[in-house]
Chain A
Amino acid sequence: MEKFDVIIVGGGLAGLSAAYTLAQEGLETLVLERGDYSGAKNVTGGRMYVNPIRDLFPDLWKKAPFERFIAREEVSIMAEERSVTMQYDGNELAQEPYQSFSLLRGKFDKWFAREAERKGAMLVSKARVDDVIMEDGKVVGVRADGDELRADVVIACDGVLSFIAEKAGLRKPLASKNYAVGCKEIIEMDRQLLEDRFNLQGDEGMARLYMGDVTGGSFGGGFLYTNKESLSLGIVVGIDALLENEEAFKAPELLDRFKQRPEIASLIKGGQTAEYSAHVIPEGGVKAMGSLYGSGILVAGDAAGFSMNIGVTVRGMEYAMASGYYAAQAVMAAKARNDFSGASLAEYKKLLDKSFVMEDFNNFKESLDVLDHSRFFTFYPELAGSIMRDLYAVPAGAKDRIFPTIKKHMTVGEIFGIARDMWRLRKI
Protein backbone atom coordinates (compact mmCIF):
# COMPACT_ATOMS: atom_id res chain seq x y z
CA MET A 1 0.00 0.00 0.00
CA GLU A 2 1.17 3.46 -0.87
CA LYS A 3 2.04 5.65 2.10
CA PHE A 4 2.81 9.34 1.81
CA ASP A 5 3.78 12.09 4.16
CA VAL A 6 0.81 14.13 3.02
CA ILE A 7 -2.21 13.55 0.80
CA ILE A 8 -3.91 16.67 -0.46
CA VAL A 9 -7.45 16.33 -1.70
CA GLY A 10 -8.06 18.87 -4.44
CA GLY A 11 -5.54 20.46 -6.78
CA GLY A 12 -6.84 24.02 -6.68
CA LEU A 13 -5.06 27.02 -5.20
CA ALA A 14 -5.12 25.87 -1.57
CA GLY A 15 -4.04 22.33 -2.39
CA LEU A 16 -1.33 23.36 -4.80
CA SER A 17 0.01 25.99 -2.40
CA ALA A 18 0.32 23.34 0.29
CA ALA A 19 1.86 20.85 -2.14
CA TYR A 20 4.31 23.40 -3.52
CA THR A 21 5.47 24.31 -0.03
CA LEU A 22 5.67 20.76 1.28
CA ALA A 23 7.39 19.29 -1.76
CA GLN A 24 9.94 22.10 -1.66
CA GLU A 25 10.91 20.87 1.78
CA GLY A 26 11.19 17.32 0.52
CA LEU A 27 8.00 15.81 1.91
CA GLU A 28 6.34 13.04 -0.08
CA THR A 29 3.25 14.85 -1.19
CA LEU A 30 0.39 13.48 -3.27
CA VAL A 31 -2.28 15.74 -4.73
CA LEU A 32 -5.50 14.15 -5.96
CA GLU A 33 -7.48 16.26 -8.43
CA ARG A 34 -10.83 15.10 -9.77
CA GLY A 35 -10.75 17.23 -12.94
CA ASP A 36 -8.91 16.44 -16.14
CA TYR A 37 -6.32 18.95 -14.94
CA SER A 38 -5.94 21.44 -12.11
CA GLY A 39 -8.30 24.31 -12.82
CA ALA A 40 -10.81 22.17 -14.70
CA LYS A 41 -13.34 22.39 -11.86
CA ASN A 42 -12.47 25.81 -10.54
CA VAL A 43 -14.42 29.00 -10.94
CA THR A 44 -13.39 32.41 -9.71
CA GLY A 45 -14.55 35.95 -10.27
CA GLY A 46 -11.21 36.64 -11.78
CA ARG A 47 -8.86 38.78 -9.71
CA MET A 48 -6.11 37.88 -7.26
CA TYR A 49 -4.52 40.30 -4.78
CA VAL A 50 -0.86 39.38 -4.56
CA ASN A 51 0.42 41.69 -1.80
CA PRO A 52 -0.59 39.60 1.21
CA ILE A 53 0.90 36.40 -0.19
CA ARG A 54 3.85 37.67 -2.18
CA ASP A 55 6.44 36.68 0.41
CA LEU A 56 4.96 33.25 1.06
CA PHE A 57 5.89 32.12 -2.46
CA PRO A 58 8.84 34.34 -3.37
CA ASP A 59 9.82 32.47 -6.54
CA LEU A 60 6.36 32.03 -7.93
CA TRP A 61 5.22 35.34 -9.32
CA LYS A 62 7.65 36.17 -12.08
CA LYS A 63 6.36 33.60 -14.52
CA ALA A 64 2.78 33.34 -13.29
CA PRO A 65 0.35 33.31 -16.22
CA PHE A 66 -1.72 36.27 -15.10
CA GLU A 67 -3.90 38.03 -17.61
CA ARG A 68 -3.54 41.73 -16.78
CA PHE A 69 -2.43 43.77 -13.78
CA ILE A 70 -5.25 45.91 -12.47
CA ALA A 71 -4.31 49.52 -13.07
CA ARG A 72 -7.76 50.99 -12.59
CA GLU A 73 -10.52 50.30 -10.07
CA GLU A 74 -14.11 51.19 -10.74
CA VAL A 75 -17.34 50.86 -8.83
CA SER A 76 -20.74 51.25 -10.40
CA ILE A 77 -23.78 51.78 -8.24
CA MET A 78 -26.79 50.73 -10.17
CA ALA A 79 -30.30 52.01 -9.70
CA GLU A 80 -33.06 50.59 -11.78
CA GLU A 81 -32.73 53.04 -14.63
CA ARG A 82 -29.45 54.79 -13.99
CA SER A 83 -26.07 54.19 -12.49
CA VAL A 84 -23.29 56.15 -10.86
CA THR A 85 -19.73 55.05 -11.53
CA MET A 86 -16.63 56.00 -9.65
CA GLN A 87 -13.24 55.46 -11.16
CA TYR A 88 -10.00 55.31 -9.22
CA ASP A 89 -6.62 55.66 -10.87
CA GLY A 90 -3.62 55.57 -8.57
CA ASN A 91 0.02 55.57 -9.47
CA GLU A 92 0.61 52.75 -7.02
CA LEU A 93 -1.76 50.54 -9.00
CA ALA A 94 0.23 51.01 -12.17
CA GLN A 95 3.65 50.40 -10.60
CA GLU A 96 5.45 47.20 -9.83
CA PRO A 97 4.96 45.31 -7.66
CA TYR A 98 1.39 45.30 -8.87
CA GLN A 99 -1.32 44.91 -6.27
CA SER A 100 -3.67 42.64 -8.15
CA PHE A 101 -4.10 40.74 -11.38
CA SER A 102 -6.92 39.32 -13.43
CA LEU A 103 -6.52 35.63 -14.15
CA LEU A 104 -8.21 32.55 -15.57
CA ARG A 105 -8.06 29.49 -13.36
CA GLY A 106 -8.01 27.02 -16.23
CA LYS A 107 -4.64 28.47 -17.16
CA PHE A 108 -3.32 29.55 -13.79
CA ASP A 109 -3.97 26.35 -11.86
CA LYS A 110 -2.67 24.18 -14.68
CA TRP A 111 0.56 26.13 -14.57
CA PHE A 112 0.75 26.16 -10.76
CA ALA A 113 0.29 22.39 -10.75
CA ARG A 114 3.31 22.03 -12.98
CA GLU A 115 5.32 24.28 -10.67
CA ALA A 116 4.34 22.10 -7.70
CA GLU A 117 5.36 19.01 -9.66
CA ARG A 118 8.65 20.64 -10.42
CA LYS A 119 9.21 20.97 -6.68
CA GLY A 120 8.61 17.25 -6.38
CA ALA A 121 4.90 16.95 -5.60
CA MET A 122 3.06 14.00 -7.14
CA LEU A 123 -0.11 14.96 -8.90
CA VAL A 124 -2.79 12.58 -10.04
CA SER A 125 -5.71 14.10 -11.93
CA LYS A 126 -9.01 12.47 -12.92
CA ALA A 127 -9.03 10.99 -9.40
CA ARG A 128 -12.05 11.47 -7.19
CA VAL A 129 -11.59 10.94 -3.46
CA ASP A 130 -14.62 9.15 -2.07
CA ASP A 131 -13.87 8.94 1.60
CA VAL A 132 -11.36 9.37 4.39
CA ILE A 133 -9.94 6.35 6.19
CA MET A 134 -10.38 6.76 9.94
CA GLU A 135 -8.64 4.62 12.54
CA ASP A 136 -9.16 5.26 16.27
CA GLY A 137 -10.64 8.66 15.54
CA LYS A 138 -7.63 9.62 13.47
CA VAL A 139 -7.58 10.28 9.73
CA VAL A 140 -4.95 7.98 8.22
CA GLY A 141 -5.66 8.22 4.51
CA VAL A 142 -8.24 8.38 1.77
CA ARG A 143 -10.15 6.09 -0.54
CA ALA A 144 -10.09 7.01 -4.20
CA ASP A 145 -11.77 4.85 -6.84
CA GLY A 146 -11.33 1.74 -4.74
CA ASP A 147 -7.70 2.46 -3.89
CA GLU A 148 -6.61 2.99 -0.30
CA LEU A 149 -3.93 5.62 0.04
CA ARG A 150 -2.34 6.44 3.38
CA ALA A 151 -0.55 9.45 4.76
CA ASP A 152 0.48 11.04 8.04
CA VAL A 153 -1.76 13.98 7.24
CA VAL A 154 -4.61 14.60 4.85
CA ILE A 155 -5.24 18.19 3.82
CA ALA A 156 -8.81 18.77 2.64
CA CYS A 157 -8.68 21.37 -0.13
CA ASP A 158 -11.74 20.03 -1.88
CA GLY A 159 -13.64 23.25 -2.23
CA VAL A 160 -16.65 24.85 -0.68
CA LEU A 161 -18.73 21.70 -0.31
CA SER A 162 -15.82 19.85 1.33
CA PHE A 163 -17.19 16.36 1.60
CA ILE A 164 -13.82 15.40 3.06
CA ALA A 165 -14.14 17.77 6.03
CA GLU A 166 -17.71 16.53 6.44
CA LYS A 167 -16.62 12.89 6.46
CA ALA A 168 -13.91 13.69 8.99
CA GLY A 169 -16.55 15.33 11.17
CA LEU A 170 -15.06 18.81 10.94
CA ARG A 171 -17.57 20.67 8.83
CA LYS A 172 -20.66 22.42 10.07
CA PRO A 173 -23.87 21.70 8.19
CA LEU A 174 -24.15 23.90 5.13
CA ALA A 175 -26.63 26.64 5.99
CA SER A 176 -27.79 28.45 2.89
CA LYS A 177 -27.56 31.86 4.56
CA ASN A 178 -23.78 31.52 4.60
CA TYR A 179 -23.40 30.92 0.90
CA ALA A 180 -23.76 32.82 -2.32
CA VAL A 181 -23.79 31.60 -5.87
CA GLY A 182 -21.72 33.17 -8.62
CA CYS A 183 -22.60 32.89 -12.30
CA LYS A 184 -20.05 34.01 -14.82
CA GLU A 185 -19.38 34.25 -18.50
CA ILE A 186 -16.08 34.50 -20.27
CA ILE A 187 -16.61 36.83 -23.19
CA GLU A 188 -13.88 36.69 -25.79
CA MET A 189 -13.01 39.93 -27.47
CA ASP A 190 -10.44 41.04 -29.97
CA ARG A 191 -7.50 42.34 -27.97
CA GLN A 192 -7.36 45.69 -29.76
CA LEU A 193 -11.08 46.27 -29.36
CA LEU A 194 -10.85 45.41 -25.68
CA GLU A 195 -7.92 47.72 -25.02
CA ASP A 196 -9.52 50.59 -26.93
CA ARG A 197 -12.87 50.14 -25.27
CA PHE A 198 -11.50 50.05 -21.75
CA ASN A 199 -8.69 52.51 -22.44
CA LEU A 200 -5.90 50.10 -21.53
CA GLN A 201 -2.28 50.09 -22.61
CA GLY A 202 -0.20 46.95 -22.90
CA ASP A 203 -0.87 44.62 -20.00
CA GLU A 204 -2.93 47.11 -18.02
CA GLY A 205 -6.30 45.89 -16.88
CA MET A 206 -9.32 47.22 -15.09
CA ALA A 207 -11.68 45.82 -12.52
CA ARG A 208 -15.18 47.00 -11.94
CA LEU A 209 -17.61 45.98 -9.25
CA TYR A 210 -21.32 46.57 -9.59
CA MET A 211 -23.57 47.19 -6.63
CA GLY A 212 -27.21 47.94 -6.24
CA ASP A 213 -29.80 46.79 -8.73
CA VAL A 214 -27.59 44.09 -10.16
CA THR A 215 -29.34 41.14 -8.67
CA GLY A 216 -32.90 42.33 -8.60
CA GLY A 217 -32.47 43.99 -5.23
CA SER A 218 -31.05 40.89 -3.56
CA PHE A 219 -27.87 40.80 -1.57
CA GLY A 220 -25.27 40.49 -4.24
CA GLY A 221 -23.30 42.28 -6.87
CA GLY A 222 -21.64 42.04 -10.21
CA PHE A 223 -18.09 42.09 -11.49
CA LEU A 224 -16.23 42.78 -14.68
CA TYR A 225 -12.53 42.07 -15.10
CA THR A 226 -10.49 42.52 -18.22
CA ASN A 227 -8.31 39.60 -19.27
CA LYS A 228 -5.85 39.60 -22.17
CA GLU A 229 -8.44 38.80 -24.82
CA SER A 230 -11.59 38.31 -22.85
CA LEU A 231 -13.81 39.71 -20.14
CA SER A 232 -14.84 37.94 -16.96
CA LEU A 233 -18.39 39.11 -16.35
CA GLY A 234 -20.59 37.77 -13.62
CA ILE A 235 -22.89 38.18 -10.70
CA VAL A 236 -22.80 36.94 -7.15
CA VAL A 237 -26.02 36.59 -5.21
CA GLY A 238 -26.80 35.17 -1.79
CA ILE A 239 -28.67 31.89 -2.05
CA ASP A 240 -31.24 32.91 0.55
CA ALA A 241 -31.55 36.34 -0.98
CA LEU A 242 -32.30 34.75 -4.32
CA LEU A 243 -34.99 32.58 -2.78
CA GLU A 244 -36.52 35.43 -0.81
CA ASN A 245 -36.68 37.83 -3.74
CA GLU A 246 -40.34 38.54 -4.48
CA GLU A 247 -39.67 38.77 -8.19
CA ALA A 248 -38.40 35.19 -8.12
CA PHE A 249 -35.67 35.57 -10.69
CA LYS A 250 -33.91 32.37 -11.51
CA ALA A 251 -30.15 32.52 -11.08
CA PRO A 252 -29.31 32.32 -14.79
CA GLU A 253 -31.92 34.97 -15.58
CA LEU A 254 -30.21 37.40 -13.24
CA LEU A 255 -27.00 37.17 -15.24
CA ASP A 256 -28.88 37.69 -18.49
CA ARG A 257 -30.74 40.64 -16.99
CA PHE A 258 -27.40 42.09 -15.91
CA LYS A 259 -25.94 41.62 -19.39
CA GLN A 260 -28.91 43.44 -20.90
CA ARG A 261 -28.38 46.55 -18.85
CA PRO A 262 -27.39 49.20 -21.39
CA GLU A 263 -24.28 50.02 -19.34
CA ILE A 264 -23.10 46.42 -19.70
CA ALA A 265 -24.42 45.66 -23.16
CA SER A 266 -22.30 48.42 -24.64
CA LEU A 267 -19.17 47.08 -22.91
CA ILE A 268 -19.51 43.52 -24.16
CA LYS A 269 -20.69 44.34 -27.66
CA GLY A 270 -18.60 42.61 -30.29
CA GLY A 271 -17.52 39.94 -27.84
CA GLN A 272 -18.41 36.29 -27.99
CA THR A 273 -19.31 34.19 -25.00
CA ALA A 274 -16.82 31.33 -24.74
CA GLU A 275 -17.69 29.71 -21.42
CA TYR A 276 -20.43 29.76 -18.82
CA SER A 277 -19.59 28.77 -15.28
CA ALA A 278 -21.05 28.95 -11.80
CA HIS A 279 -20.04 28.10 -8.28
CA VAL A 280 -21.04 28.39 -4.68
CA ILE A 281 -19.02 30.88 -2.64
CA PRO A 282 -18.65 30.69 1.14
CA GLU A 283 -19.55 34.03 2.65
CA GLY A 284 -20.34 33.12 6.23
CA GLY A 285 -16.98 34.23 7.60
CA VAL A 286 -15.65 33.03 10.97
CA LYS A 287 -19.13 32.39 12.28
CA ALA A 288 -19.78 29.69 9.70
CA MET A 289 -16.39 28.02 9.88
CA GLY A 290 -16.08 24.49 11.13
CA SER A 291 -12.94 23.07 12.72
CA LEU A 292 -9.85 23.76 10.70
CA TYR A 293 -7.95 20.75 11.98
CA GLY A 294 -8.40 17.33 13.50
CA SER A 295 -6.26 14.34 14.20
CA GLY A 296 -4.39 13.66 10.95
CA ILE A 297 -6.30 16.27 8.97
CA LEU A 298 -6.28 19.96 8.06
CA VAL A 299 -8.79 21.97 6.07
CA ALA A 300 -7.78 24.84 3.78
CA GLY A 301 -9.16 27.18 1.13
CA ASP A 302 -12.86 27.32 0.33
CA ALA A 303 -13.25 24.00 2.15
CA ALA A 304 -12.45 25.92 5.33
CA GLY A 305 -14.70 28.81 4.32
CA PHE A 306 -11.88 31.22 3.51
CA SER A 307 -13.66 33.64 1.26
CA MET A 308 -14.97 37.06 2.06
CA ASN A 309 -17.32 39.64 0.65
CA ILE A 310 -17.03 43.11 2.11
CA GLY A 311 -18.91 44.92 -0.57
CA VAL A 312 -16.06 46.74 -2.31
CA THR A 313 -13.86 43.67 -2.55
CA VAL A 314 -14.67 39.98 -2.84
CA ARG A 315 -11.68 37.86 -2.00
CA GLY A 316 -10.92 34.19 -1.75
CA MET A 317 -7.87 33.19 -3.73
CA GLU A 318 -5.30 34.86 -1.46
CA TYR A 319 -6.86 33.18 1.55
CA ALA A 320 -6.78 29.85 -0.25
CA MET A 321 -3.12 30.18 -1.09
CA ALA A 322 -2.15 31.46 2.34
CA SER A 323 -4.11 28.77 4.16
CA GLY A 324 -2.48 26.12 1.97
CA TYR A 325 0.90 27.59 2.85
CA TYR A 326 0.19 27.64 6.60
CA ALA A 327 -1.23 24.12 6.47
CA ALA A 328 2.08 23.04 4.97
CA GLN A 329 4.01 24.86 7.72
CA ALA A 330 1.90 23.13 10.36
CA VAL A 331 2.48 19.74 8.78
CA MET A 332 6.23 20.31 8.71
CA ALA A 333 6.23 21.31 12.36
CA ALA A 334 4.17 18.24 13.20
CA LYS A 335 6.57 16.08 11.26
CA ALA A 336 9.51 17.49 13.20
CA ARG A 337 7.69 16.43 16.36
CA ASN A 338 6.51 13.22 14.69
CA ASP A 339 3.12 13.99 16.19
CA PHE A 340 0.14 14.34 13.87
CA SER A 341 -2.52 14.50 16.53
CA GLY A 342 -5.11 17.26 16.59
CA ALA A 343 -3.22 19.02 19.34
CA SER A 344 -0.06 19.03 17.28
CA LEU A 345 -1.79 20.14 14.10
CA ALA A 346 -3.53 22.93 16.02
CA GLU A 347 -0.41 24.86 15.14
CA TYR A 348 -2.19 25.54 11.84
CA LYS A 349 -4.86 27.60 13.57
CA LYS A 350 -2.20 29.49 15.53
CA LEU A 351 -0.32 30.31 12.34
CA LEU A 352 -3.51 31.47 10.67
CA ASP A 353 -4.47 33.57 13.70
CA LYS A 354 -1.18 35.41 13.50
CA SER A 355 -1.53 35.95 9.76
CA PHE A 356 -3.61 38.36 7.67
CA VAL A 357 -6.07 35.56 7.06
CA MET A 358 -7.69 35.39 10.46
CA GLU A 359 -7.04 39.05 11.12
CA ASP A 360 -9.13 39.90 8.09
CA PHE A 361 -11.79 37.42 9.04
CA ASN A 362 -12.00 38.74 12.58
CA ASN A 363 -12.02 42.35 11.43
CA PHE A 364 -14.78 41.74 8.95
CA LYS A 365 -16.80 39.17 10.80
CA GLU A 366 -19.86 41.41 10.92
CA SER A 367 -19.71 42.39 7.27
CA LEU A 368 -22.20 39.86 6.02
CA ASP A 369 -24.79 40.80 8.63
CA VAL A 370 -24.28 44.48 7.99
CA LEU A 371 -24.37 44.25 4.23
CA ASP A 372 -27.21 41.80 4.05
CA HIS A 373 -29.64 44.60 4.23
CA SER A 374 -31.78 45.55 1.32
CA ARG A 375 -31.17 49.28 1.87
CA PHE A 376 -27.67 48.79 0.51
CA PHE A 377 -29.00 47.18 -2.62
CA THR A 378 -32.00 49.33 -3.44
CA PHE A 379 -32.30 52.45 -1.33
CA TYR A 380 -28.78 53.85 -1.68
CA PRO A 381 -28.35 53.09 -5.35
CA GLU A 382 -31.68 54.76 -6.11
CA LEU A 383 -30.74 57.70 -3.89
CA ALA A 384 -27.37 58.13 -5.58
CA GLY A 385 -28.91 57.76 -9.00
CA SER A 386 -31.72 60.24 -8.31
CA ILE A 387 -29.41 62.88 -6.90
CA MET A 388 -27.16 62.56 -9.94
CA ARG A 389 -30.16 62.72 -12.26
CA ASP A 390 -31.36 65.94 -10.71
CA LEU A 391 -27.89 67.44 -10.55
CA TYR A 392 -27.30 66.85 -14.22
CA ALA A 393 -30.81 67.62 -15.39
CA VAL A 394 -31.22 70.83 -17.31
CA PRO A 395 -34.97 71.26 -17.54
CA ALA A 396 -36.82 73.39 -20.03
CA GLY A 397 -37.24 76.08 -17.42
CA ALA A 398 -34.86 77.31 -14.76
CA LYS A 399 -32.57 74.80 -13.10
CA ASP A 400 -32.93 74.28 -9.36
CA ARG A 401 -30.20 75.32 -7.04
CA ILE A 402 -27.86 72.52 -6.11
CA PHE A 403 -28.28 72.42 -2.33
CA PRO A 404 -32.09 72.18 -2.39
CA THR A 405 -31.77 69.51 -5.09
CA ILE A 406 -29.76 67.31 -2.76
CA LYS A 407 -31.77 68.29 0.29
CA LYS A 408 -35.03 67.27 -1.37
CA HIS A 409 -33.77 63.66 -1.37
CA MET A 410 -32.87 63.74 2.31
CA THR A 411 -35.97 63.75 4.46
CA VAL A 412 -35.47 63.71 8.21
CA GLY A 413 -36.54 60.09 8.39
CA GLU A 414 -34.09 59.12 5.74
CA ILE A 415 -31.27 60.95 7.41
CA PHE A 416 -31.95 58.92 10.54
CA GLY A 417 -31.99 55.77 8.44
CA ILE A 418 -28.70 56.66 6.86
CA ALA A 419 -27.20 57.44 10.23
CA ARG A 420 -28.37 54.07 11.47
CA ASP A 421 -26.77 52.35 8.50
CA MET A 422 -23.53 54.26 9.01
CA TRP A 423 -23.54 53.13 12.62
CA ARG A 424 -23.85 49.57 11.39
CA LEU A 425 -21.11 50.07 8.83
CA ARG A 426 -18.61 51.04 11.51
CA LYS A 427 -18.35 47.34 12.25
CA ILE A 428 -16.62 46.63 8.98
Chain B
Amino acid sequence: MSEVMGLKAKLGLNVFKEDKEFHIRIKPGREKDERLKKAVIVCPSGLYSANDAGDVEISVDGCLECGTCLIACGEEVLEWHYPSGGAGVQFRFG
Protein backbone atom coordinates (compact mmCIF):
# COMPACT_ATOMS: atom_id res chain seq x y z
CA MET B 1 0.00 0.00 0.00
CA SER B 2 2.96 2.33 0.26
CA GLU B 3 3.22 2.34 -3.50
CA VAL B 4 2.34 5.60 -5.13
CA MET B 5 -1.23 6.45 -4.35
CA GLY B 6 -3.33 9.14 -5.94
CA LEU B 7 -2.97 12.62 -4.55
CA LYS B 8 -6.65 12.88 -3.66
CA ALA B 9 -6.54 9.55 -1.90
CA LYS B 10 -3.48 10.71 -0.01
CA LEU B 11 -5.22 13.91 1.02
CA GLY B 12 -8.17 11.78 2.05
CA LEU B 13 -6.00 10.36 4.84
CA ASN B 14 -5.78 13.77 6.48
CA VAL B 15 -8.28 15.44 8.75
CA PHE B 16 -9.84 18.56 7.28
CA LYS B 17 -12.36 20.59 9.25
CA GLU B 18 -14.87 22.64 7.38
CA ASP B 19 -14.54 26.41 7.28
CA LYS B 20 -17.31 28.93 6.76
CA GLU B 21 -15.54 30.53 3.82
CA PHE B 22 -12.72 29.90 1.37
CA HIS B 23 -9.45 31.04 2.85
CA ILE B 24 -7.68 31.41 -0.47
CA ARG B 25 -9.14 33.27 -3.41
CA ILE B 26 -7.78 34.35 -6.73
CA LYS B 27 -8.16 38.11 -6.80
CA PRO B 28 -10.95 39.06 -9.20
CA GLY B 29 -9.64 39.84 -12.67
CA ARG B 30 -6.35 38.04 -12.06
CA GLU B 31 -7.47 34.63 -13.28
CA LYS B 32 -5.28 34.86 -16.38
CA ASP B 33 -2.27 36.33 -14.58
CA GLU B 34 0.88 34.44 -15.54
CA ARG B 35 2.02 34.37 -11.93
CA LEU B 36 -0.88 32.10 -11.02
CA LYS B 37 0.44 29.40 -13.35
CA LYS B 38 3.26 28.90 -10.87
CA ALA B 39 0.74 27.66 -8.34
CA VAL B 40 -0.27 24.86 -10.69
CA ILE B 41 3.29 23.55 -10.42
CA VAL B 42 4.20 24.26 -6.82
CA CYS B 43 1.02 23.42 -4.90
CA PRO B 44 1.69 20.18 -2.98
CA SER B 45 -2.03 19.39 -3.00
CA GLY B 46 -2.53 20.07 -6.70
CA LEU B 47 -5.39 22.45 -5.94
CA TYR B 48 -4.72 24.79 -8.84
CA SER B 49 -5.57 24.03 -12.43
CA ALA B 50 -5.78 26.01 -15.64
CA ASN B 51 -8.97 25.58 -17.62
CA ASP B 52 -9.31 25.58 -21.41
CA ALA B 53 -9.78 29.35 -21.47
CA GLY B 54 -6.46 29.82 -19.69
CA ASP B 55 -8.02 30.89 -16.41
CA VAL B 56 -6.44 29.47 -13.30
CA GLU B 57 -8.91 28.00 -10.86
CA ILE B 58 -8.47 26.87 -7.29
CA SER B 59 -10.42 24.44 -5.18
CA VAL B 60 -9.36 24.86 -1.56
CA ASP B 61 -10.56 21.45 -0.37
CA GLY B 62 -7.44 19.58 0.68
CA CYS B 63 -5.37 22.70 1.32
CA LEU B 64 -2.45 21.94 3.63
CA GLU B 65 -2.00 25.66 4.45
CA CYS B 66 1.65 25.34 3.53
CA GLY B 67 1.92 28.80 1.97
CA THR B 68 3.78 27.72 -1.17
CA CYS B 69 1.28 29.29 -3.56
CA LEU B 70 1.36 32.60 -1.72
CA ILE B 71 5.13 32.76 -1.89
CA ALA B 72 5.32 31.64 -5.51
CA CYS B 73 2.51 33.84 -6.86
CA GLY B 74 2.50 36.78 -4.48
CA GLU B 75 -0.15 38.79 -2.70
CA GLU B 76 -1.08 40.76 -5.79
CA VAL B 77 -2.88 37.83 -7.33
CA LEU B 78 -3.93 35.83 -4.30
CA GLU B 79 -6.06 36.76 -1.33
CA TRP B 80 -4.68 34.46 1.30
CA HIS B 81 -5.40 34.10 4.99
CA TYR B 82 -5.51 31.20 7.36
CA PRO B 83 -8.80 29.35 7.86
CA SER B 84 -10.75 30.34 10.96
CA GLY B 85 -9.79 28.89 14.32
CA GLY B 86 -10.24 25.13 14.49
CA ALA B 87 -10.92 24.86 10.74
CA GLY B 88 -8.75 23.51 7.95
CA VAL B 89 -6.18 20.74 8.04
CA GLN B 90 -5.39 19.16 11.42
CA PHE B 91 -2.25 17.05 11.32
CA ARG B 92 -2.22 14.05 13.60
CA PHE B 93 1.44 13.24 13.00
CA GLY B 94 2.93 16.44 11.59
Contact = CB atoms under 8 A, between A and B. Distances in A.
A239 B41 CA distance: 10
A251 interface: yes
Given A43-B94, A230-B93, A250-B46, A127 B66 contact: no
Contacts of B59: none
B44 A183 contact: yes
A243 B38 contact: yes
Nearest to A240: B72
Nearest to A256: B4
Contacts of B88: 41
A265 B4 CA distance: 9
Contacts of B26: none
B77 to A, nearest CB: 13
A273 B10 contact: yes
Interface in B28-56: 38, 40-46
Given A128-B85, A163-B81, A252-B7, A275 B93 contact: yes
Contacts of B81: 130, 163
Interface string A253-292: 0011001100001001111111111111000000000000
Nearest to B64: A278
5 contacts: A41-B65, A243-B42, A273-B1, A274-B92, A279-B67
A42 interface: yes
Contacts of B68: 179, 181, 239, 251, 278, 280
A185 B92 CA distance: 12
A255 to B, nearest CB: 8
Given A128-B84, A242-B42, A274-B13, A42 B94 contact: yes
Nearest to A43: B94
Interface string A348-378: 0000000000000000000000000000000
Q: How large is the interface on B (under 10, 10 to 19, 20 to 34, 35 or more residues)?
A: 35 or more
A280 B82 contact: no
Q: How large is the interface on A (under 10, 10 to 19, 20 to 34, 35 or more residues)?
A: 35 or more
A100 interface: no
Contact of A277 (B1, B64, B70, B86): B64
Interface in B12-31: 13-14, 17
Interface in A300-314: none
Nearest to B7: A252
A40 interface: yes
Given A243-B38, A271-B1, A271-B2, 19 more contacts: A40-B90, A41-B91, A107-B94, A126-B85, A126-B86, A179-B71, A230-B93, A239-B68, A250-B40, A250-B46, A251-B42, A251-B43, A252-B7, A252-B46, A275-B14, A275-B91, A275-B92, A275-B93, A275-B94
A106 B85 contact: no
Nearest to B92: A106
A259 B4 contact: yes
A39 interface: yes
Contacts of A273: 1-2, 5, 10, 13
Nearest to A232: B93
Question: Is chain A's binding surface mostly helix, strand, loop or mixed?
Answer: mixed
Interface in A178-196: 179, 181, 183, 185-187
Contacts of B70: 161, 174
B2 A243 contact: no
A40 B65 CA distance: 11
A248 interface: yes
A105 interface: yes
Nearest to A245: B41
Contacts of B58: none
B93 A104 contact: yes
A251 B66 CA distance: 12
A47 interface: no
Interface in A65-98: none
B89 interface: yes
A130 B23 CA distance: 13
A44 interface: yes
B68 to A, nearest CB: 4
Nearest to B11: A276
Contacts of B5: 273
A2 interface: no
Contacts of B7: 252
Contacts of A239: 42, 68, 71-72
What 6 pairs between A and B have smallest CB-CB spacing? A126-B86, A105-B94, A278-B44, A126-B85, A106-B94, A280-B67
Contacts of B46: 250, 252
Interface string A291-333: 0000000000000000000000000000000000000000000
